Amino acid sequence: MKFPKTPSFSLSGQRALVAGASSGIGLAAAVALAEHGAEVTLAARRADRLDEIVEQMRANGWSAHALRLDISDVKATADAVDQNGPFDIMVNSAGLARHSKAVDTAVDDFDAVMDLNVKGAYFLTQAVARGLIAVGKPGSLINISSQMGHVGGLDRAVYCASKFAVEGFSKAMSLEFAAHKIRVNTICPTFVLTDLTRPTFADPEKRAWILNKIKLGRAGELEDLMGAVIYLASQASNLVTGTSLMVDGGWTAD
The domain limits of the chain are 15-192+225-242
Compute the distance between CA of residue 242 and CA of residue 158 in angstroms, rounded to an integer: 23
pLDDT at 151: 97
Compute the distance between CA of residue 244 and CA of residue 150 in angstroms, rounded to an integer: 10
As a whole number of Å, the end-to-end CA separation of the chain is 43
- Residue 196, pLDDT above cutoff 90: no
pLDDT at 184: 99
- Tell me the mean pLDDT in the region 76-83: 98
The active-site residue out of 62, 87, 123, 159 is 159
Fold of 15-192+225-242: Rossmann fold (3.40.50)
- Of all residues in the chain, the percent with pLDDT exceeding 90 is 93
Average pLDDT, the chain: 96
- Tell me the mean pLDDT in the region 160-173: 98
Compute the distance between CA of residue 41 and CA of residue 169 in angstroms, rounded to an integer: 24
Compute the distance between CA of residue 160 and CA of residue 166 in angstroms, rounded to an integer: 10
Q: State the amino acid at position 60 in one-letter form.
A: N
What radius of gyration, in Å, describes the C-alpha atoms of the chain?
18
Helices (H), the chain: 24-35, 47-59, 74-84, 107-114, 121-135, 157-177, 198-202, 204-213, 223-233
Compute the distance between CA of residue 102 and CA of residue 212 in angstroms, rounded to an integer: 24
**Per-residue model confidence as pLDDT tens digits over 88-106:** 999 999 999 999 999 999 9
User: Residue 122 catalytic?
Assistant: no
Report which DSSP code applies to 117. I
- Residue 197, pLDDT above cutoff 90: no
- pTM score > 0.85 for this model? yes
- Tell me the mean pLDDT in the region 43-48: 90
